[in-house]
Amino acid sequence: MKALANSLNWLEHRILHLEGLFIALAMTALIVDLFLQVLFRFLLDQPLDFTEELARILFAWLVFVGAAHALYHAQHFVVDLVYDALPPRAQSIAGYLVDGVVALFVLTLAWVGFRAVLSGSGAILPVLQIPASVQTLAMPAGMALMVFHTLVMLFNRRHVGDALAT
């Protein structure tokens, strides 16, 4: 059990590191892409056609991978007024209850999301001429990462919404 927990934590740290790189790269790419749009359209007088579509793809990935990263760092919005006033025992019960609902919710979205990508609308992004699933995959991918983070939290007896011990 302990060995499993250790290897899970090791894996989570690798994944967190990759998420971080991915987010920073997506932000950088977004800046470059949008700035090229301005530069080419208005300064070089040669509008680019792909920048807007690319920006929306990057944004979708940024949102859902960013949201997964935020789950680990307990950065999602919560109302903790009532929870904080509860006695420790009730907090623990509430904590597991909420963990369960969160796990079920993100698992459902990951599931229906992957199924939607697989069955596919067949849509093609008009300018880049690549499948729209390049963009729509972002949602289930982010949700799958959330499923993983939630499960590791359960293993570590840390509730969703508990600040990280530093």
Partner 1 sequence: LELTVAHVNPPGEASHEAFNELARQLQDSNAGIELKIFPQGQVGGEKDAVEQVQIGAISMTTVANANLSAFAPSVGVFDIPFIFRDADSHPWAVVDGPIGDEVSSKVEAEAGVEVLGWWSAGMRHLFTREKAVESPADLKGQKVRVIGSPVYIDTFNALGAKATPMPYGEVYTGLATGAIDGAENDSSGYRNMRFYEQAPNYTLTGHFFLFKPVVANKAALEALSREQRAEFDRIFADVTAYQRKLAVDNFQQDIETLKSQGVKVVEPDRSAFITAAQPVIDQYAEKFGTDLVQRIIATH
Partner 2 sequence: MFEPTSLVFILTVALLLLRAPIFVVLGTPAIYYLWSKGIPLALAPQRLIGTVNESILLAVPMFMLAGRLMNQFDATTRIFDLAQALVGHIRGGLGFVAVKASMIFSAMSGSAAADAVGVGTITVRAMKDRGYDPSFAAAVTLSSATLAPVVPPSIIMIIYGASANVSIGKLFVGGVLPGLLMSSFLLLTVAYLSWRRQYPKGEAFCWRRLATAFSRSLLVLMTPIIIIGGIFTGLFTPTEASVVAVVYVLLLGLVYRKIEWKTLYQTLLSTGTAVGALMLVVSISGLDAWVIAREQIPQLLAASVTELTDSKTVVMLLILAVVLFLGLFMDATPIILMLVPAVMPLVTAFQIDPIHLGVLFCIMCVVGLITPPVGIALYGVAMVSNLPIERVFWASLPFFVMLLLSLGLMLLVPQIITFLPNLLIS
Q: Which does 73 bind (CB under 5 to 8 A by kind): partner 1, partner 2, none?
A: partner 2
Distance, in Å, from the CA atom of 145 to the CA atom of 35, rounded to the nearest integer, reads 30
Segment 122-141, which members bind partner 1 (CB under 8 A)?
122-127, 129, 132
Strand partners, 124: 131
Distance, in Å, from the CA atom of 98 to the CA atom of 161, rounded to the nearest integer, reads 9
Q: What is residue 131's DSSP assignment?
A: B
* Residue 124 Cβ vs partner 1, minimum distance, rounded to whole Å: 6
Asked if 62 contacts 30 with a C-beta cutoff of 8 angstroms, the reply is yes
Q: Which does 126 bind (CB under 5 to 8 A by kind): partner 2, partner 1, none?
A: partner 1
55 lies in the binding site for partner 1 (CB under 8 A)? no
Residues that bind partner 1 (CB under 8 A): 41-42, 45-47, 49, 52-53, 116, 121-127, 129, 132
